[in-house]
Amino acid sequence: MIDPFFPLSCRESDGPDVSASHLTAQGFDRVFSANLARLTAGISPAGLASVYVEWLTHLLLSPGKQIELGVKHARKHAKLLRYLTHYTLNAETPPCIDPLPQDYRFKNPAWQQWPYVWFYQAFLLQQQWWHNATTDIKGLSPASERVVSFIARQALDRWSPSNVPWLNPEVTRKTAATGGRNLFEGWRNFVEDAERLALGKPPVGAEQFRIGEQVAVTPGKVVFRNALIELIQYTPETDEVHPEPILIVPAWIMKYYILDLSAENSLVRYLVQQGHTVFMISWRNPQTQDRDLGMLDYLQQGPLAALDVITDIVPDTRVHATGYCLGGTLLAIAAAYLAREGDDRLASMTTFATQVDFSEAGELMLFIGESEVAYLEDMMWDQGYLDGYQMAGAFQILRSNDLVWSRIVHDYLLGERQPMNDLMAWNADLTRMPYRMHSEYLRQLFLNNDLASGRYEMGGRPVVIHDIRVPLFAVGTVKDHVAPWRSVYKIHLLAGSDEVTFLLTSGGHNAGIVSEPGHPRRSYRMRTHRNSDTYLDPEAWEAETPVSEGSWWPAWQRWLAEHSSSKTAPPSLGSAKHARICDAPGTYVLNS
Active-site residue set: 325
CA distance 53 to 60: 10
CA distance 373 to 299: 22
Q: Which one-letter amino acid corresponds to residue 513? A: I
How far apart, in Å, do the first and last CA atoms of the chain sit?
27
CA distance 110 to 167: 11
> 553 in helix, strand or coil?
helix
Among 167, 281, 277, CA closest to 229: 281
> 7 in helix, strand or coil?
coil
> 473 in helix, strand or coil?
strand
> 1 in helix, strand or coil?
coil
Q: State the DSSP H helix or E strand holding residue 554, giving kind and residue range, or none if neither.
A: helix 553-562
Among 108, 115, 121, CA closest to 414: 108
Q: Which one-letter amino acid corresponds to residue 305? A: A
CA distance 245 to 571: 9
Under 8 Å between Cβ of 385 and 356: no
Going through 373-522 in order, the beta strands assigned E by DSSP cover 385-386, 433-434, 457-458, 461-462, 472-477, 499-505
Could you count the other beta carbons within 10 Å of the beta carbon of residue 562? Answer: 9
Among 113, 84, 104, 93, CA closest to 173: 113
Among 236, 205, 132, 170, CA closest to 429: 205
Q: Is 479 left (phi over 0), alpha (psi -120 to 50) or beta?
A: alpha
Q: Are strands 278-283 and 246-249 parallel, antiparallel or unpaired?
A: parallel
Among 239, 230, 242, CA closest to 309: 230
CA distance 468 to 357: 15
Distance of CA 407 to the CA centre of its chain: 19
CA angle 487, 490, 496 (to 5 degrees): 155
